[in-house]
């Protein structure tokens, strides 16, 4: 089965704290792609990152970093020094190479308090 689980429904932290959003996936395919999207209160989907299954190198982009671990089927997302503008719903998604559909997690609502 192809599945994405975001166990954290909602996380609330105070500004400047670090926060990690968890994503666990299931797939039988050896070639697949993992994504993170941000959905701010305005509702649009903002693409953050795509990672393919052959590249387990962690990635850092400014205050954002991603930890891909095939051994635990996880693709976690960390925001360091969080800011109020980071408040949004964050989605993890999976696509396997023999298909084109994105399989989405239920999302984690992140609230950053000033």
Sign, Cα dihedral of 42, 105, 16, 61: negative
Does position 98 interact with another protein (CB under 8 A)? The reply is: yes
Cβ(3)–Cβ(25) below 8 Å: yes
The interface mask with another protein, positions 44-73, x = CB under 8 A, is xx-x--x-----------------------
- Using rule CB under 8 A, residue 100 touches another protein: yes
Helices (H) and strands (E) in the chain, counts: 0, 12
Shortest distance in whole angstroms from residue 28 CB to another protein: 14
Q: How far is the CB of 60 from another protein (least distance, A)?
A: 20
User: Judging by beta carbons within 10 Å of its beta carbon (0-12, 13-18, 19+), is residue 91 exposed, middle or buried?
Assistant: buried
Residues that bind another protein (CB under 8 A): 4, 6, 33, 37, 43-45, 47, 50, 91, 93, 95, 97-107
């Amino acid at each position: 089965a192809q599945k994405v689980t975001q166990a954290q429904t909602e996380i609330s932290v105070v500004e400047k704290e670090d926060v990690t959003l968890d994503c666990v996936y299931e797939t039988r395919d050896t070639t697949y792609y993992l994504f993170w999207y941000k959905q701010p209160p305005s509702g649009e989907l903002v693409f953050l990152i795509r990672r393919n299954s052959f590249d387990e190198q962690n990635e850092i982009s400014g205050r954002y970093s991603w930890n891909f671990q095939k051994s635990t089927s996880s693709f976690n997302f960390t925001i360091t020094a969080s800011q109020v503008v980071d408040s949004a719903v964050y989605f993890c998604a999976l696509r396997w190479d023999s298909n084109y559909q994105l399989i989405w997690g239920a999302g984690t609502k992140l609230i950053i308090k000033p």
